[in-house]
């Protein structure tokens, strides 16, 4: 599998998962409003704290652009290890969705697609490694670096969510 094909399929799986979150997060917050088995972000004041659907979509659009740039660099410079590192960092966050579902004893936004895409991600990584022999130890620094970039990015996006909402609200006013 080429780095380009891997990157394309990786970003497709990312977007399928993100659509799951965009579509179902509001219904989840409403359904779990008083549940003690759900993380605080989802209940109690979750509806007031968690970004609107539009702001969430804007945040995911920014993540999509960032991942597209990172994968574009992987394609341009033929970096299969870095491409695998990006997908591994992304896969790690999928385990968080599965942990949330286990804790709440029901599916949460992103958990069904996490369960469905994790095996596909494993197959993609194996196919990439088979076609592009590389040192697996070189993936670890790429995965750690990507995880740190994505973690920093998501923290900044959540901090910027109120400003994003003001921007969204002002576009047609």
The ranges assigned to domains in the chain are: 3-170
Q: What is the pLDDT of residues 50-89, one digit of tens each?
A: 788 899 999 999 999 999 999 999 999 999 999 999 999 9
3 state DSSP class of 106:
coil
Q: Whole-model pTM above 0.75? A: yes
- Those residues whose C-beta lies under 8 Å from the C-beta of residue 107, and which sit 6 or more positions away, are 101
- Tens of pLDDT, residue by residue over 136-164, are 888 899 999 999 999 999 999 988 989 99
Does the pLDDT at position 44 exceed 50?
Answer: no
Q: DSSP secondary structure string, 67-78? A: HHHHHHHHHHTT
The predicted-structure confidence for 162-173, as pLDDT tens digits, reads as follows 999 999 999 987
């Amino acid at each position: 599998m080429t780095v380009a094909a891997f990157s394309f399929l990786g970003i497709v799986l990312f977007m399928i998962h993100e659509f799951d979150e965009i579509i179902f997060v509001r219904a989840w917050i409403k359904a779990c409003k008083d549940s003690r088995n759900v993380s605080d972000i989802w209940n109690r004041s979750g509806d007031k704290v968690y970004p609107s659907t539009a702001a969430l979509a804007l945040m995911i659009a920014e993540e999509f652009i960032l991942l597209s740039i990172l994968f574009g660099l992987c394609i341009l410079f033929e970096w299969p290890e870095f491409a695998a590192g990006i997908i591994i960092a992304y896969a790690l966050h999928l385990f968080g969705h599965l942990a949330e579902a286990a804790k709440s004893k029901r599916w949460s936004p992103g958990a069904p697609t996490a369960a469905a895409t994790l095996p596909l991600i494993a197959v993609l990584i194996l196919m990439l490694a088979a076609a592009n022999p590389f040192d697996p130890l070189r993936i670890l620094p790429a995965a750690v670096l990507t995880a740190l970039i994505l973690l920093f990015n998501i923290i900044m996006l959540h901090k910027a969510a109120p400003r994003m909402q003001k921007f969204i609200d002002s576009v047609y006013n």
